[in-house]
Amino acid sequence: MIKFCSLFSGSSGNSIFLSANGTKLLIDAGLSARKIVEALYSIGEEPSKLNAILVTHEHIDHIRGAGVLSRKFNLPVYANENTWEQMEREIGPMNVKNKMVFNTGREFEVGEVCAKAFSIPHDAAEPVGFNFFIQDKKITTATDIGHINRELLQHFERSELLLLESNHDIEMLKVGPYPWHLKMRILGERGHLSNEMAGKVVAYLAEKGTRRFLLGHLSKENNFPELAYQTVCNELSEKKIIPGWDVTLDVVLRDRVGKVIEL
């Protein structure tokens, strides 16, 4: 059985729990170790049973608790070399045997889970999303995406479950409180994905056969869950795809543990 749960998803911190065949992983650890431990207990998981942390990129909302968790529970931390160069000082001293390096674009195994990191367009050293291949199922996580291209869609296709960024409503962002340079960063080619674009991606993939979607990494200031959900629903409706009937669509939140999904 596969167990998947977004513990937190947003600019204040990100962490996802995934378990399969006895292997238990965190994808990112962007809140305090204490909060992540509490979240794991809340879904019936024992933090000491974790096998590894996989890191998408070095921004603090993805690594804040990684070093403490690694030291406390003797956990390997996996990242590519460029991400390690940027985050090593931030997460603090670690046992050298727990510093694990993967190559973006190549499959690697963590326990009984086969993972593949793929490049995403974001303003970090070498940011990635992840495909997880478990038995005959593919699960994909992809946030912090500045724009969508054909290569990304190929990584998303044929996923049993996709957690996709739906960061902001463009008009809310434009008229919101952020300074101009930050608005331009978010809207840029290496920024974050809007609700509208997330909807187009979800609709495209639904036509290709993906049936379960989670929208994540919502902005606190420039989005709200109902708006993200409805915007994506509108894109699905244009393709005559009905959420709740043809596909499952949910929003994961930045400040609370999401539903536990079993596949």
Three-state DSSP class for residue 98: helix
The single-letter code of the amino acid at 212 is R
Q: Taking each helix axis as running N to C, give the angle between helix 225-238 and helix 195-208, from 0 to 180 degrees, rounded to the nearest 10.
A: 40
CATH of the domain at 179: 3.60.15.10
Arithmetic mean of pLDDT, 249-253:
97
Helices (H), the chain: 33-42, 60-63, 66-73, 81-91, 150-156, 170-175, 180-187, 195-208, 225-238
The number of folded domains in the chain is 1
In tens, the pLDDT along 87-111 reads: 999 999 999 999 999 999 999 999 9
In tens, the pLDDT along 173-224 reads: 999 999 999 999 999 999 999 999 999 999 999 999 999 999 999 999 999 9
Instruction: Give the domain range for residue 50.
Output: 2-262
Arithmetic mean of pLDDT, 121-141:
97
